[in-house]
Amino acid sequence: MTTSLPTTTSVPQRVERFPDSLVRSVLVLATIAITADQWHTSPIVWRPLATALVVLSSACAVASIFPWTSLPSWQRVAIVALFAASGALVLPLAHSTWVTALFAYLATGVAGAKLASRRAAIGIAVGASLIAAAMSWEVLQAAPHSDAWPWWLGLTVGLPVYGGIVNRYRLDAVFAAQQAVDEAHRAAEVDARAARTEQERTAQKVHDVVDQLELAETLMEQGADLEALIAVRRAHAVAAESITGPRPAEQASGADPLPGAPP
- Inside any domain, residue 41: yes
- Inside any domain, residue 46: yes
Instruction: Tell if the pTM clears 0.85, that is, is over it.
Output: no
Classified as helix, coil or strand, 243 is: helix
- Residues 154, 193 within the same domain: no
> Cβ(83)–Cβ(64) under 8 Å?
yes
Q: For 12-40, how does the pLDDT look when each residue is reduced to its tens digit (9 = 90+)? A: 666 666 566 777 888 889 999 988 888 88
The C-alpha atoms of residue 82 and residue 100 are separated, in whole angstroms, by 16
Task: Residue 132: give the domain boundaries.
Answer: 22-158
- Residues 143, 193 within the same domain: no
- For the chain, the C-alpha Rg in angstroms (whole number) is 37
The helix-helix angle for 225-244 and 160-221 (nearest 10°) equals 170
Among candidate residues 108, 142, 158, the one where a domain is terminated: 158
The C-alpha atoms of residue 243 and residue 245 are separated, in whole angstroms, by 6
- Inside any domain, residue 10: no
Q: For 81-127, how does the pLDDT look when each residue is reduced to its tens digit (9 = 90+)? A: 999 999 999 888 887 777 888 899 999 999 998 898 889 999 999 99
The C-alpha atoms of residue 45 and residue 146 are separated, in whole angstroms, by 7
- Residues 123, 225 within the same domain: no
- Inside any domain, residue 83: yes
Q: In the chain, how many domains are there?
A: 2
- Inside any domain, residue 79: yes
> Cβ(91)–Cβ(135) under 8 Å?
yes
- Inside any domain, residue 65: yes
- Residues 113, 208 within the same domain: no
